[in-house]
Amino acid sequence: MTRICLLDSSGDAASLLFAENEAVIAQKTEIITYGHGTILPLMMQELCQQTGWIPSSIDIFGIINGPGGFTGLRAGMAFLAGIACVADKKLIGLDSCRAHFLSAYAAEDKPMAYQTWRIIVNSRRAEKYWQDFSQDGQSESPLSFGRFPFSTESQDRKAGAIDHTENVVYAGHAGKDFTLPPPAKHATHWGRDIDLVACLPFIIDQINLSAHNELADSAVPPIIYSWSD
């Protein structure tokens, strides 16, 4: 069994998950505005006490590596990278847009009903990140950055710059200052945090690809840090 530790500190909530393959062993979530450097070690300590694990017994570490809030991302990546480096274990990065897509797709009753999944993520500043995904999880557009084209906060938006058809579903979390406009009809998953359980299969796929040296053929090349290479 492969022991996995997965961390998300890209948004308003920090979540830490321990799993053996796809079986969740323990999970903890905290709402954090500041003080990530203090709270994240305590979360790790609590889960280790619950499970009897120690960091060196974990096989793979995974982290949601942005975009998102700078403070949370910086603290979370430094924290988990430090543990992985000392334990001489690999650290796999998963971007926030894909993580939100995986979370929304797993929670949707009829995911194949939508042609496009539009993910919008907050950088906790005026700018937002957004990316479109197709039903099979392939990115239909490059990651974009700026003021979202149809946000009410943008003075220079162009009507029709973004398609709002019936086949578009919205997900992600762009902050309290951002409201989806009326044409965005499918926003069931809007404002929800990333579900680390839904991200586990992707992380496991990347572990298997890495083990078989098939990363070059992967449709979604992951970010993998290996301290022994």
Could you report the per-residue pLDDT of 68-123, keeping only the tens digit for each? 888 889 999 999 999 999 999 989 999 999 999 999 888 887 777 777 888 888 87
Question: Is the per-residue pLDDT at 191 higher than 60?
Answer: yes
pLDDT band at 142 (very low <50, low <70, confident <90, very high): confident
* Residue 118, Cβ density class (10 Å: 0-12 exposed, 13-18 middle, ≥19 buried): buried
On the question of a cis peptide bond just before residue 201, with omega within 30 degrees of 0, the verdict is: no
Query: Phi and psi at residue 223, in whole multiples of 5°?
Result: -100, 115
- Cα gap 191→121, rounded to integer Å: 10
Cβ proximity of 134 and 104 under 8 Å: no
**Which of 124, 101, 126 has the alpha carbon at shortest distance from 201?**
101
Rg (CA), the chain: 18
Share of the chain above pLDDT 70, in %: 74
Question: Is the per-residue pLDDT at 203 higher than 70?
Answer: yes
- Cα gap 24→6, rounded to integer Å: 11
Specify the pLDDT at position 107.
Answer: 85
Specify the pLDDT at position 139.
Answer: 79
pTM for the model stands at: 0.83
pLDDT band at 175 (very low <50, low <70, confident <90, very high): low
Residues 6+ apart with CB under 8 A from 138: 219
Mean per-residue pLDDT over the chain, rounded: 79
Query: Taken in order 125, 40, 228, 94, is the CA torsion positive or negative?
Result: negative
User: What single-letter amino acid sits at 199?
Assistant: C
Determine which of 74-78, 124-128, 182-186, 215-219 has the lowest per-residue pLDDT on average: 215-219
Helix locations, 88-194, DSSP H: 96-107
Phi-psi region of 48 (alpha: psi -120 to 50; beta: other; left: phi over 0): alpha
- Cα gap 191→175, rounded to integer Å: 8
pLDDT digits (tens, 9 = 90+) for 44-79: 999 999 999 999 999 999 999 988 888 889 999 999
Specify the pLDDT at position 2.
Answer: 92
- Cα gap 203→17, rounded to integer Å: 12
